[in-house]
């Protein structure tokens, strides 16, 4: 770790972000599930649509995306896939900012989402007006925001980043002597600051799922499974990140299960990711990192309740009715695209280098 002296958590009052209750739904009988999948496949063909699912959605939705020639990916790759694919309608199984990002990068296409109420605590804790006013009070800082933000917040930023590119980009800015205003995830911001030594003023938002992982209980689990590699998403608290063998984006963690020789893995991210990990590395044992501890509540189950709103029933309904369309004002989309494009250009220079 480099420098811890120039990281400051912004003193702002965050709005509450309360996830919906985790409904315990009886799983659908196989015949009903198969019938729903057939309806969705038919509607995808008829509507010239492609299904893109995030790694945190339910396994059935992910499997259907792959079976129908769509993709299972992180938010940025979903948007990129949508741009490359010839379909005129993109169906985004994920949360609202993902639908918006797809629309921003594919303004001429129709973007549908199974449930428009599916949001993200990071997005909810960073309302555009509050964030913009805060940026105005710190004009000497470059504004770097994480992808988990609204179109308005992206439009206010100089740079948008994903967890995969946050480190090299902040390092690049720090090397140029830039001071940074970072939002909205406090844990990812702190992680990046420690590794880069950048001067960062950090918005104090957090992911309600990753924030629940507990360092003490993880230490105990590691002792019980000495052969396990610990894989951690950097939206997790510092004490959890500090115990990781690999810290990285969803894509990087999936890759680690596939490539590392360990027979077991302790995984600190949404357990929806296990679907993909099991397929790529069927012989490996996957354990959920402990969350919640004594304060455990329904947010401590390592599964995002908003992601869970993407059900097969809702997918069929939006495709058949044409409802659930994500709309982003063209002028706003144009402004939000600028910092996203900067990130994509920066990523391209990294690849070349």
Nearest distance, CB of residue 231 and ligand SF4, angstroms: 15
Q: Which 101-160 residues touch ligand SF4, going by CB under 6 A?
A: 120-122, 148
Contact call for residue 208 and ligand SF4 (CB under 6 A): yes
C-alpha separations of 125 from 122, 183, 303 in Å: 5, 10, 19
Q: Please say whether the beta carbons of 112 and 319 come within 8 A.
A: yes
Smallest separation (angstroms) from ligand SF4 to the CB of 179: 26
Find the shortest distance in angstroms from Cβ 146 to ligand SF4: 9
Q: Residue 264: phi, psi to the nearest 5?
A: -130, 155
Distance CA 315, CA 115 (A): 8
Q: Measured from the CB atom, is 111 or 208 closer to ligand SF4?
A: 208
CA of residue 73 relative to chain centroid, distance:
10
In DSSP terms, which residues pair with 146 in a beta bridge?
161
Stretch that binds ligand SF4, among 29-37, 39-47, 172-180, 299-307 (CB under 6 A): 299-307
* Shortest Cβ 144–ligand SF4 spacing (Å): 17
Please select the residue that binds ligand SF4; options are 44, 209, 247, 326, rule is CB under 6 A: 209
Q: Based on CB atoms, which residue is closest to ligand SF4, 74 or 199? A: 74
Q: How far apart are CA 103 and CA 73, in angstroms?
A: 16
By CB under 6 A, the residues from 214 to 243 that bind ligand SF4 are 235
Contact with ligand SF4 (CB under 6 A) among 126, 153, 229, 307: 307
CB of 193 to ligand SF4, least distance (A): 19
- Count of alpha carbons within 13 angstroms of residue 110, beta-carbon side: 15
Neighbours of 117 (CB within 10 A): 10
Residue 95 touching ligand SF4 (CB under 6 A): yes
How many whole angstroms separate alpha carbon 110 and alpha carbon 328? 11
Alpha carbons 13 and 67: distance in angstroms, whole number: 44
Tell me if 49 contacts ligand SF4 by CB under 6 A. Answer: no
- Which residues contribute to the site for ligand SF4 (CB under 6 A)? 56, 95, 120-122, 148, 207-209, 235, 270, 304, 306-307
């Amino acid at each position: 770790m480099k420098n811890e002296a120039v990281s400051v958590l912004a003193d702002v009052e965050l709005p509450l972000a309360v996830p919906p209750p985790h409904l315990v739904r009886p799983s659908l009988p196989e015949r009903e599930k198969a019938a729903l999948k057939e309806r969705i496949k038919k509607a995808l063909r008829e509507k010239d649509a492609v299904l893109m699912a995030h790694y945190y959605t339910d396994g059935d939705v992910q499997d259907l995306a792959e079976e129908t020639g769509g993709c299972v990916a992180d938010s940025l790759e979903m948007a990129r896939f949508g741009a490359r694919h010839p379909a005129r309608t993109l169906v985004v199984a994920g949360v609202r900012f993902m639908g918006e990002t797809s629309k921003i990068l594919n303004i001429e296409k129709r973007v549908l989402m199974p449930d428009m109420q599916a949001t993200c605590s990071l997005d909810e804790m960073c309302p555009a007006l509050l964030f913009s006013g805060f940026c105005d009070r710190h004009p000497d800082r470059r504004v770097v925001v994480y992808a988990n933000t609204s179109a308005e917040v992206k439009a206010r930023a100089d740079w948008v980043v994903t967890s995969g590119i946050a480190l090299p980009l902040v390092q690049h800015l720090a090397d140029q002597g830039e001071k940074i205003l970072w939002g909205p995830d406090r844990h990812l911001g702190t992680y990046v600051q420690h590794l880069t030594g950048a001067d960062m003023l950090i918005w104090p938002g957090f992911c309600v799922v990753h924030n629940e992982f507990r360092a003490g209980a993880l230490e105990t689990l590691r002792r019980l499974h000495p052969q396990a590699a610990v894989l951690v998403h950097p939206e997790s608290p510092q004490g959890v990140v500090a115990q990781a063998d690999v810290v990285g984006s969803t894509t990087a963690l999936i890759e680690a299960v596939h490539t590392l020789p360990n027979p077991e893995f302790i995984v600190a991210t949404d357990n929806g990711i296990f679907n993909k990990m099991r397929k790529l590395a069927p012989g490996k044992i996957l354990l959920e990192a402990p969350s919640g501890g004594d304060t455990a509540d329904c947010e401590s189950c390592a599964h995002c309740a908003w992601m869970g709103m993407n059900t097969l029933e809702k997918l069929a309904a939006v495709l058949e009715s044409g409802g659930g369309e994500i709309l982003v004002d063209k002028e706003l989309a144009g402004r939000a695209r600028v910092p996203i494009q900067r990130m994509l250009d920066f990523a391209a220079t990294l690849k070349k280098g």
